[in-house]
Amino acid sequence: MKHATVTTRSARRLSEMEFAGWVGAAAPGDRLEYHRGFLAVDTIPVISKLPEPDRAALKQTAGRAWWASEQRLVHLVQERLGPDLFAYLAIARPKPKHAEASLAALLVDVEAA
């Protein structure tokens, strides 16, 4: 039976821990929108319009997304929605053979932070 892909969009800002949980539970092809805005601007303190706690949390989540991509757990893509507005998506990849160790490390890293 083929798995139907699921796109998840959160009405609120996603935490690093929630992102990590999604990576561990996602089936190949599932999509998660982890940010909507302009990531390069929204994570920089002097130009971001986000409150500092939100900006810092976004930077952590974006860093975890990059890490998951480097571990070959997700593809990272962006969809242009308009001028200076993008949807940042993580698309789950098939779990590699070392995924169990990677997912355990992912959760340990998040809890330690």
Q: Which residue has the higher pLDDT, 98 or 39?
A: 39
Instruction: Write out pLDDT tens, residues 41-75.
Output: 999 999 999 999 999 999 999 999 999 999 999 99
Mean pLDDT, range 89-102, rounded to an integer: 78
Q: Residue 111: pLDDT above 80?
A: no
The pLDDT of residue 66: 97
Is 23 in contact with 90 (CB distance < 8 Å)?
A: yes
Q: From the CA atom positions of the chain, what is the Rg in Å?
A: 14
- Nearest residue to 82 (alpha-carbon basis) of 37, 34, 48: 37
Mean pLDDT, range 6-14, rounded to an integer: 68
